[in-house]
Amino acid sequence: MLTFKADGGTFWCSAADWLMMVRLAKSRGWNPSGIPQPIEEDGSPDYSPDAWSYSKPGLTLKVPDEDARALADSLESSLPDLPRFDALEDKSVSRLDMPGQLPVRMMRPGATVSPFEYFSGINRIALERFIALCRSGGLTVR
């Protein structure tokens, strides 16, 4: 689970959700200008070589304001093309709905899912919340 924090609040998502957001943003021209910087617990930058091991427990990254806002612009430009209905309904075998969580799905074998389908229906609301967070400035990712 990834945790994104900014002045506007906190957003949680899975690595798969993040991958789909990146694919969607890149399809709309997002090209981050920098590399996320690892930071220490106290918020200071950590440029030591071992800080760049993305599997290091507790690694925290800082996404600059410019990249976070560009990410919001790219994702927001996709909103008019995202279905408001659940475009994954016909591609899934079953769905588990839990209070306070996005639905968990078991997809049909061989089904491919585009980022536009992935963020359809209720997932669109989560994407809109993430866009608002990115608009508030730089992100700290843990």
Is the predicted pLDDT of residue 2 greater than 70, yes or no? yes
The pLDDT value recorded for residue 54 is 47
The more confident residue out of 37 and 118 is: 118
Return the exposure string of 76-95: e unless at least 16 CB atoms fall within 10 Å of the residue's CB, then b: bebeeebeeebbbeeebeee
The pLDDT value recorded for residue 47 is 47
Q: Which two tokens stand for residue 119?
A: 């963020």
pLDDT tens for each residue of 78-111: 999 999 999 998 998 988 887 766 677 888 999 9
| pTM score | 0.79
- One DSSP character per residue, the chain reads -EEEEETTEEEEE-HHHHHHHHHHHHHTT---SS-PEEE-TTS-B--SGGGG-TTSTT-EEEE-HHHHHHHHHHHHHHGGGS-SS-TTGGGEEEEE--TTSPPEEEEPTT----HHHHTSTHHHHHHHHHHHHHHTS-EEE-
pLDDT tens for each residue of 11-66: 998 888 899 999 999 999 999 887 666 666 555 554 444 444 445 556 788 899 99
Cross-strand pairs, 104: 96
